[in-house]
């Protein structure tokens, strides 16, 4: 299964989520991340990189813009917020049916957005990392039980 993780700039949340999921080494799962308003080749945020390196996780160090090719590649597209989901759907209507927020797909209740640590300190990034780790655990469980 090919999983595509989407946030705004592909420098904070989606690279963290990609690294967490990739580090789980779930058989048959490939993962990529991108941003709705990203440009290719910018470094991910310093705090995201710090956290990923602390956990010794494999990661993609540069941002990627969402692409039609990757949308077609993906079996499942998970966004960090409801507005990201709406943005993907506006640009890529063919994504309907395989597009969800991460929270909607794993535990559909309450607020469906993952907090954005952009511009925050390392503690804020740690909180987001912890939240993403919990949802990646739920995602792994859901994928391996199906």
Residues belonging to the active site: 7, 13, 116
Letter string b/e over residues 128-139, b meaning 16 or more CB atoms within 10 A of that residue's CB: bbebbbebbeeb
CB 3 within 8 A of CB 74: yes
Give me the torsion for CA of 20, 23, 71, 35, rounded to 10°.
Answer: 40
- Degrees (nearest 5) of the Cα angle 59, 83, 119? 55
């Amino acid at each position: 299964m090919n999983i595509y993780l989407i946030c705004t700039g592909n420098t904070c949340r989606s690279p963290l989520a990609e690294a967490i999921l990739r580090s789980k080494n779930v058989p048959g799962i490939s993962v990529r991340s991108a941003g709705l308003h990203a440009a290719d080749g910018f470094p991910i945020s310093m705090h995201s990189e710090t956290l990923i390196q602390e956990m010794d996780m494999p990661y993609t160090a540069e941002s990627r813009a969402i692409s039609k090719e990757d949308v077609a590649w993906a079996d499942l597209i998970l966004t960090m917020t409801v507005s990201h989901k709406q943005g993907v759907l506006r640009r890529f209507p063919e994504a309907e049916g395989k597009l969800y927020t991460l929270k909607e797909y794993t535990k559909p209740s309450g607020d469906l957005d993952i907090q954005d640590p952009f511009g925050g300190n390392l503690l804020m990034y740690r909180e987001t990392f912890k939240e993403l780790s919990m949802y990646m655990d739920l995602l792994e469980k859901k994928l391996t039980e199906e």
